[in-house]
Structure 1
Amino acid sequence: MEVAVSALRADLRQWIDAAQAGEDVVITERGIPVARLAGIASADLIARLERDGLLTAPTAVRPPAEVEAHGVGRPSSAVSDLVRRLRR
C-alpha cells in the first residue's frame, strides 16, 4: 500500500498500526517511492528466545541492587565504580 508524505503526516498512527499488522507501507513524495514503513518482528523477542530454549524465565523475584551513598545523598553508579576498579 502506498501513502503520500502529506497523508502520512496527517494520519501517522493509522500507518504505524498498518505496519504493525504486517502491511508494507511505501511512502511516496510526488508519486515517487522514497521509503518503506514495515513492522518489526522483535516485539515478541523474549517469548521467541524462551520458546527456542535460549532464554529461561526467572524462578524468583530479584531483589533491588544495594546503593551506596557518595557525598551528599548521591547514589553510586555501579558501572562507573566497575570502570574505576578495572582501571586500577
Structure 2
Amino acid sequence: MDVTISRLRAELATWIERAQDGEEIVITDRGTPVARLSSVETAPLIEQLTSSGVLTRPRHSSRPEARSTSRVRASGPVADLIGEPRR
C-alpha cells in the first residue's frame, strides 16, 4: 500500500494501526518512494534475511540521481517551463 506524506500526516493513527496489523506501507514524496512503515515484528525477519544473504543493504542511502543529463535551471516559474511544450 502506498501513501503520500501529506495523507500519512493527516491519518497517522490509521496508518500505524495498519502497520501493526502486518501491512507494509510505502511512503511516497511526489510519487517517489522514500520510506517504509512496517510492524516492529518484521525487523528481526529483515535482519535474518540480510545476514543469510537473501537481502542486501543499499550501498548508498541517498536517492538515485539522473546522471546522463544536465539539470535544467529555471529562470522563471516552473509552470511556464511545463506549459511551454504544449503551446
After TM superposition, the score normalised by the length of structure 1 is: 0.46
* Structure with greater proportional strand content: 1
